[in-house]
Structure 1
Amino acid sequence: MATLQSYGAAEVVTGSCHLLQLQNGINILVDCGMFQGEVEERNHNPFGFDPADVDFLLITHGHLDHVGRIPKLVKEGFKGTIITHRSTMDLAEVIMLDSAHLMKEGYKTRYRKAQRRGEEEKVRKPLYTENDVRTVYHCPMIFASYDEPIDLGHGIFVNFKNAGHILDSAIIQVIFEEDGAKKTVVFSGDLGNDDDLVMPSPDIIEEADVLFIESTYGDRNHKGVKESDLELQHVIQKTFMNNGNVLIPSFAIERTQEILCMLKQMYNRGELPVCQIFLDSPMAIRATDIYKRYHEELSECCNEFLERDGTIFDFPYLYYTSRVQDSMKINDEDSHCIIIAGAGMCNGGRILQHFKHRLWNEKNALVFVGYQVQGTLGRKIVDGAKKINVYGEEVIVKAEVHTINGFSAHADQNGLIEWMSKFTKLDKIFLIHGERDKQEIFQKEIERRLHKKAHIVKHGEKIGI
């Protein structure tokens, strides 16, 4: 019997890594992501399987928590074939190189401090380097297209469907025969919303013997896009009336592009006050360029912008600040600025420099537009921290803090259940990619509304398919 074991994103949101072992000896790994927040120490643990035994790595999309450990996988012996969209590998390169750079810089800092204590040997080396990332791109690769099944041999096919989460994100169907019967295992990946400004709606899947579905927001429902638009607009107008600035910690991929589209729509409607908008994230700028390159995969709204303006995201108030010196100049601006910077969970990046300069000022506003994982600085602020530590300096939190959850790239509880309700055949449901308490709420809601049992997957648990 085929089995599946989850070695990440089991009772936690991050670290997606799911090993499907087929009866004929073929091993398929779905995603190999980085753990983040309070579970990030797990990144240094053994995988729980031998990377050399993996025949195929299927990648649902290019977020860090889905691709961040791939260099480690290759470094430790993976010699199989990677299957995903070409654009996903382009985004993953940006993400993984940034991850390697941050780990290198963190290592240098820890090593310098350890030298002063004479404890250099205790400093753990980075998980991988930039060269390890480049080695990933020497692996055999097959680039997928939506709705074009790929034959892996041995009677195994994989099919990529649009998940609507980020650029070319995928729901993956694995179809194989076992004991004379056809089986279909579906991995939802991260599912998007039906009303996203940048991405199309997720594809409908009709049949699955087994479904592994994300459950990040299985406990709640989002505000609508229009309501979130109005809320952001209100925060901007109120903050500018107080001669303040708006800080937006934003994920480089998808969230940044959605915020830019929303701000551009406000500008087009004449509802955005005169201001300067700084996209102060080299990684987000590179990701935005990749989105432009694959514009045909984006929403009708984005392509209408492109046809009308010759550009999807640009408009007069927007400035890109790739260079450090341009980023530093933002500190000289007193008011009427919107600063979009990474990291999205505030665990690094240029947003920390802006916290140091602006978080203590009650005239300013801090707007969270993405999920904040347990253990991250962003989560601490959302949970009401009065003071935070930035580069060894204590900074008081006096800026108004707002959380606008309607911007989430993840489907909410209603969206997930509505998507599942479209299956004409759905035998077994397994919950992954969510915090345990939220999964328990989602589990009960599935039973109440779909009259189906759902199992919460534990780390390393062997599940018969």
Structure 2
Amino acid sequence: RGKIITSPPTAELCQIMLLDSAHIQEMDAEWQTRKNNRQGKKGVLPLYTMEDAEESLKYLSPMERDQIITVEPGIKARLRNAGHILGSSIVELWIEGMNEETKIVFSGDLGKQDQLIVKDPYEIFAADYLFIESTYGNRLHRSFEDSKEELLEAIQYAVSHGEKVIIPAFALERTQEILYLLGEFYRDGSLPVIPVYLDSPLAIKATQIFRKNKKYYDEEARAIVDQGFDPFDMPNLHFTPTTEESM
């Protein structure tokens, strides 16, 4: 029942992401239970329910990054920017022992340098113990510029041939990056005004949270705002938050 300490944007995103995840857990458990029943097996329970998710939200305790707080006597913490998605944070912990203080760092998911929208990851130079992710530790990714050019060329081809482009994308982070790039293509003249539809209630809610939290943008995204533009908007952009509008 302790506090869940997060950055403010993470607390906002949890309001939508946890409930969506819990809904998926319930639907998956219901489907698996029906399948098991047909085979004479026991049903299964979701890892957590919508009720569990809603209950957990009461314990969220937002805290700004770059400040040291006392979590409990003898334990201090500080959040640093992880540069992965809006609000993502590295956690620094200082724990007092009998004779000395120990510093533990949890990296969380780390972003790349020059990531869209959010600032680059904060560099931490010292820790007694480091817990770090290694999802892509053994892979080399193609350059961002190559991927960006491929996206632009695909859309330009579709526009010139009267075709449509359907982009499946994660509701959080990837959708906002695509909107950001589409806006950039429009502003620099690479694309004409074309209808764009964001057909995901969850992605729409996440985008609205991104729009609210401008103070966490990197310099490039801030410059777009300072010029009077919304980084996630363009002419003829349509949100379809309901099933009826989607159809």
Normalised TM-score (structure 2): 0.90
Q: Describe the SS at the equivalent of 2:104.
A: strand
Q: Are 2:82 and 1:160 aligned?
A: no
Q: Describe the SS at the equivalent of 2:122.
A: coil
Q: Distance in 2 between matches of 1:118 and 1:208?
A: 52
5+ long unaligned stretches in structure 2: none
Q: Distance in 1 between matches of 2:223 and 2:33?
A: 51
Q: Describe the SS at the equivalent of 1:247.
A: coil
* Match in the other structure for 1:126: 46
* Match in the other structure for 1:85: 7
AA partner of residue 151 (structure 1): T
Q: Are 2:176 and 1:176 aligned?
A: no
AA partner of residue 313 (structure 1): F
Percent identity, aligned pairs only, is 39
**How many Å apart are 1:265 and its aligned residue?**
0.5
The one of 126, 137, 161 equivalent to 2:57 is 137
**How many Å apart are 1:110 and its aligned residue?**
4.9
AA partner of residue 133 (structure 1): A
Contact 1:157–1:175 (Cα < 8 Å) also in 2: yes
Distance 1:269 1:114, change over 3 A: same
Q: Distance in 2 between matches of 1:216 and 1:245?
A: 33
* 1:324-375 Cα distance to aligned partner (Å, 9 max, x none): 12222xxxxxxxxxxxxxxxxxxxxxxxxxxxxxxxxxxxxxxxxxxxxxxx
The one of 141, 145, 152 equivalent to 1:222 is 141
**How many Å apart are 1:230 and its aligned residue?**
0.9
Q: Distance in 2 between matches of 1:219 and 1:109?
A: 36
AA partner of residue 134 (structure 1): E
AA partner of residue 130 (structure 1): M
Contact 1:236–1:246 (Cα < 8 Å) also in 2: yes
Structure 1 or 2: more strand by fraction? 1
Contact 1:163–1:203 (Cα < 8 Å) also in 2: yes
* Match in the other structure for 2:214: 295
AA partner of residue 4 (structure 2): I
Q: Describe the SS at the equivalent of 2:156.
A: helix
**How many Å apart are 1:162 and its aligned residue?**
0.6
Q: Describe the SS at the equivalent of 1:152.
A: strand
Contact 2:16–2:202 (Cα < 8 Å) also in 1: yes
**How many Å apart are 1:234 and its aligned residue?**
1.3
* Match in the other structure for 1:260: 179
Distance 1:208 1:114, change over 3 A: closer
* Match in the other structure for 2:22: 100
**How many Å apart are 1:313 and its aligned residue?**
1.0
Q: Describe the SS at the equivalent of 1:257.
A: helix
What is the number of residues matched between the two proteins?
247
Distance 1:106 1:189, change over 3 A: closer
Q: Describe the SS at the equivalent of 2:167.
A: strand
Taking the TM superposition and a 5 Å limit, the aligned residue runs for 1:10-409 are 79-110=1-32, 117=38, 119=40, 122-139=42-59, 141-328=60-247
**How many Å apart are 1:242 and its aligned residue?**
4.5
**How many Å apart are 1:114 and its aligned residue?**
6.4
AA partner of residue 232 (structure 2): F
**How many Å apart are 1:146 and its aligned residue?**
1.3
Contact 2:18–2:53 (Cα < 8 Å) also in 1: yes
**How many Å apart are 1:282 and its aligned residue?**
0.7
AA partner of residue 218 (structure 1): G
AA partner of residue 93 (structure 1): Q
AA partner of residue 174 (structure 2): R
Q: Distance in 2 between matches of 1:213 and 1:118?
A: 42
Distance 1:190 1:107, change over 3 A: closer
**How many Å apart are 1:264 and its aligned residue?**
0.5
* 1:191-242 Cα distance to aligned partner (Å, 9 max, x none): 1122112011111112111211111111223333332221111122234444
Greater relative contact order (Cα 8 A, min sep 6): structure 1 or 2? 1
Q: Describe the SS at the equivalent of 2:215.
A: helix
Normalised TM-score (structure 1): 0.50
